[in-house]
Structure 1
Amino acid sequence: MFTYEIAPVFILMEHQVLKKMRDIIGFTNGDSILCPGGAISNLYAVIVARHKLFPEYKTKGLKALPQLVLFTSEHSHYSTKSSGSVCGFGTDNVIEVACDDKGRMIPTELERLVKESVTRGCTPFFVNCTCGTTVLGAFDQINPIADICDKYNLWLHIDAAWGGGCLLSRKHRHKLNGITRASSVTWNPHKLMSALLQCSTVHFKEDGLLLDANQMCADYLFQQDKHYDVSYDTGDKVIQCGRHNDIFKLWLMWRSKGTEGYEQHIDHLFDMTEYMVSKLKERSDRYYLIVPEPECVNISFWYVPTRLRNMPHNKQKEQELGRITPILKGRMMNEGTLMIGYQPVGDIPNFFRNIISNPGVQTKDIDHLLDTLDRLGHDL
């Protein structure tokens, strides 16, 4: 997909679906594109932000720029740091901002670091606000961060690759209150919306920026005197020109479910999350919740084997729980019954991160999961 004449039906599908997504975000105008993954969506946000603030970079390169600095939470996706590397700013100039005990960026710490970068002679220009962090599923508070961006003239990007599906639910949309204040938004339908991989989108509040930042005017492909509206030729506003057809599967799902059906889909995922959290709390001798009230469908916990159940909870116990977590993961995979991811975060050792993103999950599946973990791990 790079010109209307090559893929007319799918170009029109993409145009309509992305407009619908912008309407849901609250961008009344703007532009969007489907990307090969959320990391590239976030990269496009950095590229467009740089072009908006420093358009001369496109022709003159790094010599036209001061030392630019980006900010993102310490729990954010690694793609922001990767974007700093790819764009030539350097990973040392992608500043990680401390998070609170829920995994959310601390706005006062962001402002302190912005001021500090100015004192060092750098130019802060981009803030990545994560709505649905990869591990804990935390939602950075948009409005306080947007206030800081307004105060210091910073581009606000919202990485809602994970949490963007909440926009479809009246019950859960509040988690992204203030999203219309962003200049760009990443939203991955292949996450909460359950589209097949890959299906990732990036949306811009201002129309024309995506094209201005990337257009190379190759007249052997993008002739301006074609017999149709050449704004439907999408290849010149992206880096890779031709793109895989990632829209058809999303269009089919949305046509099948309807927007109301998608709301029920999202609500069900959160209902199942609440059910699992309640069951973990009922079995508090066997399971320890890292985040007692998760904001998204990420449920972070340790399994506690029999020999540790009467031991007071302290750092020593946490280290032992972290040690046995991968062993239990190995047991479940060798038996072929379950597969749950694990990882550390910050100074917290390995713990399980159960994600409920399949709308087919029912309460009986969660009961089976918890019973099986106990059966496989009680003697560790």
Structure 2
Amino acid sequence: MEKEVLRGLRQLVGWTKGDGIFCPGGSASNMNAMNVARYHHFPEVKSQGLRGLPQLVIFTSSESHYSVKKGAAFLGFGTDNVILVEVDDRGRMIPEDLDEKIVLAKSQGAVPFLVNCTSGTTVQGAFDPLDRIADVCERHKLWMHVDAAFGGSVLFSKKHRHLMNGVDRANSVTWNPHKMLLAGQQCSVLLLQDNTNLLKRCHCANATYLFQQDKFYDVDLDVGDKSIQCGRKVDCLKLWLMWKAVGSSGLEDRVDKAFIHARYLGKQMKKREGFNLLHEPEFVNVCFWFIPPSMRGTEGDATYQDKLAKVAPVVKKRMIEQGTMMMGYQPLGNNVNFFRMVVMSPAFSQKDMDFVLDEIERLGKDL
């Protein structure tokens, strides 16, 4: 079952061959990719450890997932060796800055080995330009990993898979069906284009009491030695059952509906006084400010930004206390606290989107 599910996902990425493993969450998938990439470049690390390695550096966007730095700490790279690449105003990695930082790192004696791209950043829902990044990775011979934990499911959609153009040129991909496809928690996968058993060579311990080679069935079905775990849940079953139940067209419909509702929400905000979009949604993240009536027309005041930063926390507190909604908020760069509405559930309707706006207006009109 797992082999068939992995094959189906790899085909959506655009690979006719490869490997993969289900992992306990996107963070673990990303960390596995980092470990495999290091082993690919320096296989001696498995037996000799870190002492014989040069200073290895990783590149990722300034808006990438925190698991990259957490993985760097856990795997012994050190967080100082995670180099943050600049992003544009939509949160997408700038390939030219990536190239410059790789050249600079080399000139300083470091050894670049991995670029972590993001398809669907946590806050803005940005998709890094994978084709252009792949050009940079090929020029410098670096492992290209795509953290598509959030956005990977657009590959099911004929309308929206263009957001991940170039993903077929990656070496590895993280994908969480428990996010946009709404598989049960947890359901995360690491996909590799490599078909030389790299995962197993990197992680295996060849425990003969578990992985005997003289079994009566195909021993390739024993995937335990590909994983850093021993006991693990059959996470692929959740995706397999859902995929069998609704089909690829049903999963495509889930993705497309999410985009439709996110676009509708953005359009309705433009029609209502007091709602300002951070930018046009690229994905299903709708980022916006609510401006209470008392603050409208005072944008030039010296205290305006300080006052605006306090609106979202108060409104969120009220919606939770009254049990009507839950919605995240955060600052980003020079932007003070704004709401981040992530539209994913296929149970959503336009009526629900209208309720979101009505409720924010009701809870924040007196601020």
- Counterpart CA distance in 1 for 2:60 and 2:303 is 31
Corresponding position: 1:246 with 2:235: yes
- Paired residues, number: 366
Change (3 A) 1:219 1:209: same
Unaligned runs of 5+ in 2: none
1:297 to 284, 308, 314: 284
1:64 alignment partner, SS class: coil
Deviation at 1:317, TM superposition (A): 2.7
Q: CA deviation at 1:159?
A: 0.5
Tell me which stretches of 4 or more aligned residues in structure 1 moved more than 6 Å.
none
Residue 175 of structure 1, aligned match among 163, 178, 188: 163
- For 2:306, the equivalent position in structure 1 comes to 319
Cross-structure match for 1:345: 332
Q: 1:219 to 1:313 in 2, by over 3 A?
A: farther
Q: Percent identity?
A: 49
Give the counterpart of 2:225 among 210, 213, 236.
Answer: 236
Give 1:315 deviation, angstroms. 7.7
The answer for the alignment partner of 1:36 in structure 2 is 24
Aligned counterpart for 1:112 among listed residues 84, 95, 100: 100
Provide Cα deviations, 1:309-356, integer angstroms capped at 9, x if missing partner: 122368843332111210110011111111101112222221110011
1:184-204: CA deviation from partner (whole Å, max 9, x where unpaired)? 000100111111111101100
- Superposition RMSD on alpha carbons, in Å? 1.1
2:348 counterpart residue number:
361
Q: Give TM-score, length-normalised by structure 2.
A: 0.98
Counterpart amino acid of residue 188 in structure 1: N
Give per-residue Cα distances to partners, 1:51-93, cap 9 Å, x unaligned. 1110011001112211000000000000111111111110000
Aligned to 2:252: 263
Amino acid at match of 2:231: G
Unaligned runs of 5+ in 1: 1-12
1:188 is the counterpart of 2:188: no
d(CA) in 1 for partners of 2:298, 2:198: 58
The CA deviation at 1:219 is 0.3
Q: Which amino acid aligns with 2:179?
A: K
Matched, 1:223 2:216: no
For 2:363, the equivalent position in structure 1 comes to 376
Corresponding position of 2:70: 82
Once residues 293 and 59 of structure 2 are traced to their aligned partners in structure 1, the CA distance between those partners, rounded to angstroms, is 44
1:45 and 1:322 map into 2 onto residues whose CA distance is: 37
- Correspondence 1:142-221 to 2 at 5 A: 142-207=130-195, 208-221=197-210
Taking the aligned partners of 1:97 and 1:358, their CA distance within structure 2 comes to: 32
Deviation at 1:298, TM superposition (A): 0.5
Rate the CA distance shift 1:63–1:141 in 2: closer, same or farther, 3 A: same
Q: Secondary structure at the match of 1:210?
A: helix
State the one-letter code of the partner of 1:327.
V
Question: Which residue of 46, 65, 74 maps to 1:58?
Answer: 46
- Distance in 2 (CA, whole Å) between partners of 1:99 and 1:228 is 50
Distance of aligned partners of 1:352 and 1:123 in 2 relative to their CA distance in 1, 3 Å threshold: same
In structure 2, distance between residues paired with 1:261 and 1:211 = 34
Partner residue in 2 for 1:330: 317
Matched, 1:134 2:148: no
1:279 is matched with 268
Task: Say which SS state the counterpart of residue 69 (structure 1) adopts.
Answer: strand
Deviation, 1:170, is 0.3
